[in-house]
Structure 1
């Protein structure tokens, strides 16, 4: 068995639960990407993409024969979305670094953008909930839709350099932890709980950069 076969099939037993190592490793890459984002490093984007590929196979458990045969379509779909938006963010940060010497300069979004983000968050959740339900996503489906939409907006905000993107992640984590626990994805739920603290630190860090630059 090579390393790829092992990574795809290996599990960790925690009590009476089987947790895929893919879920653990994928979330570890996600955490590394978040750390890179906090430090405004370009490598945050490709590292995150690797984690997204792994987690896509995890959240389509009924398709890939995972120990937990539950499909979280919003969670799986957002991994695909992450990859697409991350490519955009990767290119944008590289170009900005080449032009100014830094990958991104944190700034506040305009009030118009903030209102648009709020409308998109609520409206997107309402729009996707019946679609995800019809496709057989795990209940409560609105939570899965909320996480999907929030993740899209937060990733887009990170690519744009809007400091508010950290606050959107906190809103995602508050819903994501109970959903993942109820669906049996304990490694991801634990990581979401940690992300909640981490994203608050990220918000303060980017805000500090803004204040330092303004002096």
Structure 2
């Protein structure tokens, strides 16, 4: 109990303000998970889940008495989404590793044109549908940006679980909108992490692209039906 109390109350002084330790730790775990994902290691998923649990308490803002007063329901909700989809990704990557993929959990590949269209449509429609929902819950403005980062994160995480190389580019689209939102809301640790992560995702895209060309189709795990509808 003492450790949990310390974890929830600990802050890091930075200039004239403070950073919530849980936010810093959550983003460190998230970056470690991204590195594991680039290397296609199964441990990327449980590490990511640990970071998501920490960040969930941070983005709920006033609910946990965080240093920043802004509550981002989209950012908080996507941590729950991350945990759920990560469980699927963890399971799928373990299957791929057992199937034998040169020591990697999965062999990257490209989504079909139909799936790409479905992802773009889901991104736009989901953002439009969630914006009024988050607005009614009192999310920090601009609310559409919160909804955009939520939908993009959902699609990117699912794409990573399926081994679609395009998921790295979805993260870039999330970062372009999410970084200014986080800075504006006062979540500076998360904003700086996502700013760095934007460049990291571009590197990850090229790493997976080369891996797909090098390792080829024969080693790919048995595919599931390619439909974005499976997200729901």
TM-score for both structures, normalised by structure 2: 0.90
Deviation at 1:83? 0.2
Which residue of structure 1 lines up, in the alignment, with residue 208 of structure 2?
Answer: 206
Q: Deviations over 1:44-89 (max 9, x none)?
A: 0000000000000000111001111211000000000000000000
Select which of 125, 129, 151 maps to 1:127.
Answer: 129
The runs of 5 or more residues in structure 2 that have no matched partner are 218-232
Matched pairs, number: 215
Tell me which of the two structures has the higher relative contact order, counting C-alpha pairs closer than 8 angstroms and 6 or more residues apart. 2
Aligned Cα root-mean-square deviation (Å):
1.2
Alignment of 1:26-41 (within 5 A): 26-41=26-41
Whole-angstrom CA distance in 2 between matches of 1:2 and 1:58: 19
Q: Distance in 1 between matches of 2:13 and 2:128?
A: 37
- How far apart are residue 213 of structure 1 and its match? 2.0
Could you say what secondary structure the match of 1:19 adopts? Answer: strand
Corresponding residue SS for 1:36: helix
Alignment gaps of 5+ in structure 1: none
Deviations 1:173-202 (A, max 9, x none): 010110000000000000000000000000
TM-score w.r.t. length of structure 1: 0.97
Counterparts of 1:10-25 in structure 2, within 5 Å, are 10-25=10-25
Partner of residue 185 from structure 1, selected from 170, 177, 187: 187
The aligned residue for residue 138 of structure 1 is 140
Higher helix share: 1
Summarize deviations over 1:110-144 as a string: whole Å, max 9, x none: 00000000000011000000000001000000000
- Matched with 1:176 is 178
- Contact 2:119/2:155, CA 8 A, preserved across alignment: yes
Q: 2:90 and 2:4 mapped to 1: Cα distance?
A: 26
* Residue of structure 2 in register with 1:82 after alignment: 82
**1:53-64 equivalence runs, <5 A:** 53-64=53-64
Q: 1:197 to 1:83 in 2, by over 3 A?
A: same
